[in-house]
Amino acid sequence: MVPPYAANTWREYSNEMGIWEKDARGSLNAVYAFLRDLGVRWYLPGELGEIVPKEASIALPRMDKTVRPDFALRYFWQYFKNFNNTSRNEILWQLRMGLNEERVGNCGGVCHGIGFVIGREETKQAHPEYYKLWDGKRTPDLSHTGGEPCLSSPGLFASNVRFVRAMFDFCNEEMISVMMSDGMCSMCQCELCKGKETPERGREGWASDYMWDYVNRVAKELYKTHPDKIISCCSYTPYRLPPTNIDLLSPNIVVALTQHRGFWLNDYVDPKKKEQMLSLRQEWLTKIPKGHTPFFIYEPFAKLPRTTRRSSLHC
Ligand SMILES: [Zn+2]
């Protein structure tokens, strides 16, 4: 079985254009910024979305301009449209948006990073205790992102810390995801995990204490050796709510708040949703040490009425 993220890296390279999604684009960004200043727009990939104002001549004055973006990180990415398997027009359009991935630009992205640690077949064979116990059996194949873990396993904890340290030391990564596998819908039934769920917090919080405790423990251990590096995890599904058993998260954690774009469109959805999201942000802020990056926004699904368009925006 292929580990969940092993395939990701090659998908980010365009054979046709000879560039990686994570390549630095300083000069290119400057050229596109100059064109934008002239009124050029790219609303869609290809000619249909390109607007080029008619000009008799174009001035090219001497220029020394420093741009300070509103967001340190602005990354637009679409499922199934990695550089390797999309068209030249699509790639050009992505480049023209003036995006940057900054510290998100690591080998695994921001989601489900634990899959790197538990996704290999060899690991499943050698360490069944890393995986969720269900009906008396360990279940290493439950999730499509590597299997569902037992987050109380001391061996898994040590292995996760070792993995992230290796990514920092040998791959010079800046940020690594320590997020649960996708599709978590029940707790491990082992003796160590018993009693760690909080069903009274509902579907967005029943796993918050359990999950964030694990992420926080891994992050604290890594903070001892790599205080300048980042551990990321999404506030998502049954661990969307902040944990109640942690006063302040380890300062090297950056929380990715997941949301639907549609939450902010009052014409289309329940306006209460927007209030709930703003309130959730405030709740998370109480868990972040002062002076540290509080969180970034991760939009896995841009949802519009009666249709779902899959795309992502990190900012
Ligand atoms: Zn367990």
Q: Does 309 reside within a domain?
A: yes
Q: Does 187 reside within a domain?
A: yes
Q: Once rounded to an integer, what is the mean pLDDT over residues 125-150?
A: 89
94 & 127 share domain: no
29 & 168 share domain: no
Instruction: Look over the chain and give the mean of its residue pLDDT values, rounded to a whole number.
Output: 84
Question: Cα of 275 to ligand 1 centre, how many Å?
Answer: 35
Q: Does 3 reside within a domain?
A: no
135 & 249 share domain: yes
Q: Does 2 reside within a domain?
A: no
Residues 6+ apart with CB under 8 A from 111: 145, 177, 179, 182, 234, 298, 300
306 & 195 share domain: yes
Q: Name the residue among 119, 246, 252 with its Cα closest to residue 176.
A: 252
User: Last residue of some domain: 100, 126, 151?
Assistant: 100
163 vs 145, residue with greater confidence: 163
Question: Cα of 281 to ligand 1 centre, how many Å?
Answer: 30
Q: Which pLDDT score, from 0 to 100, does residue 102 have?
A: 58
Q: Does 269 reside within a domain?
A: yes
Least confident of 2-16, 29-43, 201-215, 281-295: 2-16
142 & 288 share domain: yes
User: Last residue of some domain: 52, 85, 100?
Assistant: 100
Q: Does 148 reside within a domain?
A: yes
108 & 87 share domain: no
Q: Once rounded to an integer, what is the mean pLDDT over residues 54-63?
A: 91
Q: Does 94 reside within a domain?
A: yes
Q: Does 1 reside within a domain?
A: no
Q: Which pLDDT score, from 0 to 100, does residue 314 have?
A: 36
135 & 264 share domain: yes
Q: Which pLDDT score, from 0 to 100, does residue 307 have?
A: 34
Question: Cα of 215 to ligand 1 centre, how many Å?
Answer: 15
Sign of the dihedral defined by the CA atoms of residues 34, 36, 41, 43, in that order = positive
93 & 141 share domain: no
Q: Once rounded to an integer, what is the mean pLDDT over residues 123-145?
A: 90
79 & 221 share domain: no
253 & 279 share domain: yes
Site of tokens 């390109």:
50
Q: Once rounded to an integer, what is the mean pLDDT over residues 246-259?
A: 92
User: Last residue of some domain: 100, 117, 152?
Assistant: 100
Dump strand ranges (E) for the chain: 13-14, 19-20, 41-42, 50-51, 75-77, 133-134, 137-138, 175-177, 230-235, 253-260, 295-304, 307-309, 312-314
Q: Are 220 and 253 in contact (CB under 8 A)?
A: no
Q: Which pLDDT score, from 0 to 100, does residue 65 have?
A: 87
Least confident of 169-178, 194-203, 279-288, 289-298: 289-298
Question: Cα of 192 to ligand 1 centre, how many Å?
Answer: 5
Question: Cα of 131 to ligand 1 centre, how many Å?
Answer: 7
Percent of the chain with pLDDT over 90: 50
Q: Which pLDDT score, from 0 to 100, does residue 240 have?
A: 94
Least confident of 7-21, 47-61, 102-116, 265-279: 102-116
117 & 93 share domain: no
Question: Cα of 269 to ligand 1 centre, how many Å?
Answer: 38
Question: Cα of 191 to ligand 1 centre, how many Å?
Answer: 7
Question: Cα of 130 to ligand 1 centre, how many Å?
Answer: 8
Q: Which pLDDT score, from 0 to 100, does residue 31 have?
A: 93
Give the total number of structural domains in the chain.
Answer: 2
Domain span including residue 253? 103-314
Q: Which pLDDT score, from 0 to 100, does residue 153 have?
A: 98
Q: Which pLDDT score, from 0 to 100, does residue 108 have?
A: 55
Q: Which pLDDT score, from 0 to 100, does residue 267 have?
A: 60
